[in-house]
With several copies, the nearest count.
Chain A
Amino acid sequence: MSESNAAVGPDQPPLIVKIGGARAVDPAGVIEDVAHVVAAGREVVVVHGGSTAVDDTLEAMGKEPEYVTTPSGVSGRFTDEETMGVFSMVLPGKLNTELVTDLRAAGVNAVGLSGVDGGLVTGPRKSAVRVLEDGKKKIRRGDHAGKPEAVNAGLLSSLLSDGYVPTVSPPMLADDGTAVNADADRVAALLAAELGGELVLLTDVEGVYADPEDPDTLIDAASTPAEFAAVEDAAEGFMSRKVHAAEEALSGGATGVVISDAGLRKPLLAALDGHGTWID
């Protein structure tokens, strides 16, 4: 599964790198790695999230972040209109501007885009959600969330062929014309699928563990349906979303996905060199 230096050549498929959003996570390592890969001639798209920074800003503005749980136990943010405004402030505003600034300072010709820009990421609006509250099933309406389904590939490839590194963050543009929250892993997966690229999901653990309690059980790779099923079974909580994103990327046309540790010294190069859990 090791790709060593071949991973950064111009003959490789586009690389889609999903990183966390907050500068606090210190993305310096991954920024240097992106610069290295771009300098070697490979096309790169960077995708970032930043949900914890949204919570911090909501709290700084005196508003409590709201999370809901669906009847089957999936937890997620409920994004009302005011929260949506703060979401746009933090992701395409503060975090994307910082990340593009830092990438450019490292010599990367980054252009920041939200999914709204040029209709880059579109799909159905999900304004109502079933939730479980105090044991009651309820319908909550007014959620500003959507499911990323389509990409303006022309905008992306035009920027890539002009030598830019698109640096993408939610929100996406929903089919009702509103800007809405979307899962950044899923946006990255959709872009990887569209570009036939390789997807690197950097996270705060080494990869998928067969037993999350036991770091010795890291799953190195999954190439067969049985191996993938084992990864799916093993992934819990936020990791199960990354595995779902991997699945969507691969079924949509991505060449491979790796879930790896953002905390390594050269996290992107390490992932390309075989660290983490590879799925293809």
Chain B
Amino acid sequence: MSEADCVTCGAAVALPEDAEVGEIVDCGGCGTELEVVGVDPAELAEAPDLAEDWGE
């Protein structure tokens, strides 16, 4: 299990075993939604806030 720092609060965030690029994980420290942008090494970025639209 790898981990990476939250880009907002700096807390260490543990990635699930089978984490995939694109997956969204929540920071346990500040609650920020983080996008897994790399798995080896683990890297996180703030997940874009995408308004969900009915005509998707």
Across chains A and B, which 5 residue pairs bring their CB atoms closest together, nearest first? A183-B55, A76-B56, A137-B24, A138-B22, A244-B54
Q: Does B47 contact A (CB under 8 A)?
A: yes
Instruction: With CB as the reference atom, state the residue of chain B lying closest to A77.
Output: B56
Q: Does A223 contact B (CB under 8 A)?
A: no
A216-238 to B contact mask, C-beta < 8 Å, 1/0: 00000000000000000000000
Q: How distant is A28 from chain B, measured CB to nearest CB, in Å?
A: 29
Q: How distant is A132 from chain B, measured CB to nearest CB, in Å?
A: 10
Asked whether A130 lies within 8 Å of B52 as measured between CB atoms, the reply is yes
Asked whether A74 lies within 8 Å of B52 as measured between CB atoms, the reply is yes
Q: Does B17 contact A (CB under 8 A)?
A: no
B17-40 to A contact mask, C-beta < 8 Å, 1/0: 000101110000000000100000
Asked whether B20 lies within 8 Å of A138 as measured between CB atoms, the reply is yes
Count how many pairs of residues, one from A and one from B, have CB atoms less than 8 Å apart in the complex.
50
Asked whether A128 lies within 8 Å of B48 as measured between CB atoms, the reply is yes
Asked whether B55 lies within 8 Å of A137 as measured between CB atoms, the reply is no
Q: Does A266 contact B (CB under 8 A)?
A: no
Q: Across the interface, which residues of A come within 8 angstroms of B1, CB to CB?
A: none
A180-202 with Cβ < 8 A to chain B: 182-183, 185-186
Asked whether B53 lies within 8 Å of A128 as measured between CB atoms, the reply is no
Q: Across the interface, which residues of A come within 8 angstroms of B47, CB to CB?
A: 139
- B35, B50, B52, B54: which has the most chain A beta carbons within 10 Å? B54
Instruction: With CB as the reference atom, state the residue of chain A lying closest to B55.
Output: A183
Q: Does A23 contact B (CB under 8 A)?
A: no
With A128-B50, A130-B50, A139-B48: A186-B55 Cβ-Cβ less than 8 Å: yes
Q: Across the interface, which residues of B come within 8 angstroms of A185, CB to CB?
A: 55
Q: Across the interface, which residues of B come within 8 angstroms of A70, CB to CB?
A: 52, 56
Asked whether B56 lies within 8 Å of A140 as measured between CB atoms, the reply is no
Q: How distant is B33 from chain A, measured CB to nearest CB, in Å?
A: 8
Q: How distant is B55 from chain A, measured CB to nearest CB, in Å?
A: 4
Q: How distant is B47 from chain A, measured CB to nearest CB, in Å?
A: 6
Q: Across the interface, which residues of B come within 8 angstroms of A76, CB to CB?
A: 55-56
Among A71, A141, A244, point to the contact of B55 (Cβ < 8 A).
A244
Besides A137-B24, A141-B22, A145-B56, 11 new A-B residue pairs in contact (Cβ under 8 A), listed by A number? A71-B52, A74-B54, A76-B55, A128-B50, A129-B50, A130-B50, A138-B24, A139-B22, A139-B35, A185-B55, A245-B55
Asked whether B52 lies within 8 Å of A136 as measured between CB atoms, the reply is no
Q: How distant is B10 from chain A, measured CB to nearest CB, in Å?
A: 22
Asked whether B53 lies within 8 Å of A126 as measured between CB atoms, the reply is yes
Instruction: With CB as the reference atom, state the residue of chain A lying closest to B53.
Output: A147
Q: Does A240 contact B (CB under 8 A)?
A: yes
Q: How distant is A123 from chain B, measured CB to nearest CB, in Å?
A: 11
Q: Does A72 contact B (CB under 8 A)?
A: yes
